[in-house]
Amino acid sequence: MKKTGVLHAELSKLIATLGHGDMLVLGDAGLPVPPHVPCIDLAVTLGIPTLQQVLEAVLEEVYLEKITLAAPTETHSPNLWQFARNYAEAQNLSIDVVSHDELKQLSQHARAIVRTGDTTSYTNIILHSGVPF
């Protein structure tokens, strides 16, 4: 058994195999998952786990080059919006802001979508994998 970090075997394997530019989507309980995109379903019940709980664990293990958020996130999910902006600033990352429909279109090209139990509207984020060099 792993001692620290992400313990979920499927999520841990995905993180370990992300390549430069790969997209990982973390979504709320209602984000549609395209049939051809793998879904790692972490939702236990409505609200558990929250997207931010999963995001914080994932961020401990990945290098990113940028983040994508949907514009409605700013007003509907201000905690995620502010957390992402603070993280991006601290890591010197850019944030792309797109429409919710554009975020759903981008998710069709993701390596996977991680479904959380979060029920806050527009609580979705795309992490773009980077490299440490």
Question: Could you list the active site residues?
Answer: 20
Rounded Cα distance, 106 and 108, in Å: 5
- What's the DSSP call for residue 48? B
Kindly report whether the peptide bond that precedes residue 72 is cis, defined as omega within 30 degrees of 0.
no
Rounded Cα distance, 24 and 15, in Å: 9
| Two tokens, residue 29 | 């309980």
| Two tokens, residue 89 | 């600033």
* Separation of CA 42 from chain center: 12
Question: What letter represents residue 40's amino acid?
Answer: I
φ, ψ for residue 131, nearest 5 deg? -135, 155
